[in-house]
Each structure stands twice: as structure tokens, then as C-alpha cells.
Structure 1
């Protein structure tokens, strides 16, 4: 979050909205409602315990939320 914070801190509402979006994506208890795994693959480095990791996801947000995020950040330069 260091890079986004450096760039987006010029607009507190933009930063807050971006951080909320990222936090929901990474650790929301309701993540299954808006994140879908599209592709995964096996970790070839682990011989004993085959582990899969995600390589692609679809992240669903309401149009109104996406528009609100855009509107809060569009003038950040």
C-alpha cells in the first residue's frame, strides 16, 4: 500500500475508497460473494504437499461503486 498511498494521499476520499476496495478484495469475510477464481495451477516446487495457487480471478463490483471510486480519484494527478 506504500505506492498507492504516496500517489493517492493527495485526495483522502480517493485513498480511502481505494484502500477499502483492496482490503475487501484481500480479506473480506464475504469475499466469495464478489471474487471468483478463474484459473489456478499447482505449485511445482512442493513435492510432498501439492498446493494450488490462484493465477486469475474475476472481481465483481457494482457499477455505482466503481463509478464512485472513479469519481473520487479522477482528478488526482
Structure 2
């Protein structure tokens, strides 16, 4: 694993930043809870951040049962909690605030173009509550999303 836990807050977004860590996978707390079957190695703060991220998608009106929601759930879950994180995420820069572990300030995600296009295609016709427009119109067009997800 290349990240574990939460070590800082981003001053611009108030989002929690993960700790930079090279560790073996750690079992998630509450792994036995049926609705929290996340891959294997998140701490309690990471679980909270994961749930919060999914609520943001749901708050846009994306149904929890839709392929779009499930694909984003998988994407977020794998990037935060996968025991194989080091296979597709590289921490390029970390910063220490002098209090505890350093936090990640720059990372690279290796996601295939096929996967990125699959996420896009599962969401492109999903209607949101934001002005009643399709989900993909809220943020980015297809080429930009594929570029962002695939690192092209």
C-alpha cells in the first residue's frame, strides 16, 4: 500500500489527505458490516471519507443501484482501500507538517483507457438533479474524463 490513514486537510478544499505510507495491507475496522464490504485496508477515517465521497455522488441524484454509481464506488474504493494500491498508484510527492506522518500532495493513478471509457459510458445517460442534465455534463466531456482517468 502506498497510502494509509488520514494525516492532513487540504487548505483549499478542506478535504482530508491520506498519509504517505509503504505498508502491507491492514484489515479494515468493521469489516464484518455487510454494507461496508470495502477492500481490506482502510482505517476508520478513510472509511468515513469513502462514505462521504459516495454521498456526494448520490446527492447529485445518481441512484445507488445504477451502474454509474457502482462504477464510481469501485473507482473510489480501489483508489483508497485496495491492497494492490501500489500496482496502480504512485506517490510522487509527500509533505510533513512536523506533526506525525507525511501526507500525500501528489500522486499518479494508472487506469486503463478501457476502464475510464467504461466509467464514462455507464454515466453518460444518467440524469442528475442538477438542472436535470446528464451526469457527464455536470463536470467534464468524455475526452477530458478519459484523459483524467487514464492519465493520457
User: Shift of the alpha carbon at 1:13?
Assistant: 0.3
Shift in Å at residue 10 of structure 1?
Answer: 7.5
> Which has the larger helix fraction?
1
Partner of residue 89, structure 2: 35
Does 2:59 correspond to 1:6? yes
Kept in 2, the 8 Å contact 1:43–1:52? The answer is yes
TM-score using structure 1 length: 0.84
TM-score (norm 2): 0.45
Task: Check whether the contact 1:40–1:53 (CA below 8 A) recurs between aligned residues.
Answer: yes
- Offset of residue 12 of structure 1: 0.3
Show structure 2 runs of 5+ residues with no match: 1-53, 127-133, 135-152
RCO higher in 1 or 2 (8 Å CA, sep ≥ 6)?
1
Aligned Cα root-mean-square deviation (Å): 1.6
CA offsets, 1:17-43, max 9 Å, x none? 000000000000100000110110112
| Structure 2 residue 111 is matched with structure 1 residue 57 | no
**Structure 1 portions without partners, runs of 5+:** none
| Deviation >4 Å, runs of 4+ | none
CA distance in 1, matches of 2:78, 2:71: 11
Contact 1:11 1:73 in 2 (8 A): no
Matched, 1:25 2:79: yes
Gap change, CA 1:32 and 1:16, over 3 Å in 2: same
